[in-house]
Amino acid sequence: MSGIASRNIAYSNLKQRRRATIVEVAPGGTLADYVPFYFGPRSPMLFTYSQGNVTGRRENQDEIIYLVSTAEYVVSLNLPFAFTDGHPVVEPKSFFNDLRHLQEIDFQIMNGKYWFDTDAYPDRKRRRQAEFLVHQQFPWTAVQALAVRTSAMHGRVVDLIQHAEHRPTCIVRPDWYYDS
């Protein structure tokens, strides 16, 4: 699929911290050696991007396409992985490499609309930033679905992948994005 334009939408200082953060379980290395995924939609990074805190201007979330897969599918493909119970560069943090530890992920937060810290739940923001990390590369064939914000983007994506050997389902999920 040539002709796809991409651009970096990450904090440069966070990328530096990721290069220095050791993954404490096999296959090891640093966070920079992994393709990171959040466990749920409406990520904290998407929020800060939508507010203009990354690029200095409010951004159009319509251009963001979710690549959707599952931890179980990654395991079935024998892809090496690790995951964290919270933000991978913020203490406290724990790394895991066995799906039996998925109960360490707070899925109620992952599926919730709000994830800011409260007096009753002072660690919610850090835990919401838990990541599933696939070592070295994530093959296109591991993508089980694509999610977009609008019908217009759905049409663009379907047109883009129509001749690809692997064509994951494309779904419209405006609720996975933040209100403008």
State which residues form the domain around 78: 12-176
The reply to whether omega before 92 is within 30° of 0 (cis) is: yes
Q: Is residue 3 part of a domain?
A: no
171 in helix, strand or coil? strand
- 17, 18, 91, 128: which is the annotated catalytic residue? 18
Q: Is residue 72 part of a domain?
A: yes
Nearest C-alpha neighbor of 128 from the set 32, 21, 10, 40: 40
State mean pLDDT over 55-82. 93
Q: Is residue 73 part of a domain?
A: yes
Which residues have C-beta within 8 Å of that of residue 62, sequence separation ≥ 6? 148, 149, 150, 152, 153
Domain count, the chain: 1
Which residues have C-beta within 8 Å of that of residue 13, sequence separation ≥ 6? none
- Report the predicted TM-score, pTM, of the whole model to 2 decimal places: 0.91
31 in helix, strand or coil? helix
In this predicted structure, the answer to whether residue 4 has a pLDDT above a threshold of 70 is no
- 42, 127, 128, 131: which is the annotated catalytic residue? 131
**Res 45: pLDDT:** 86
**Res 56: pLDDT:** 80
Is 18 marked active-site? yes
Rounded to the nearest integer, the mean pLDDT of the chain is: 92
Is 173 marked active-site? no
Q: Is residue 61 part of a domain?
A: yes
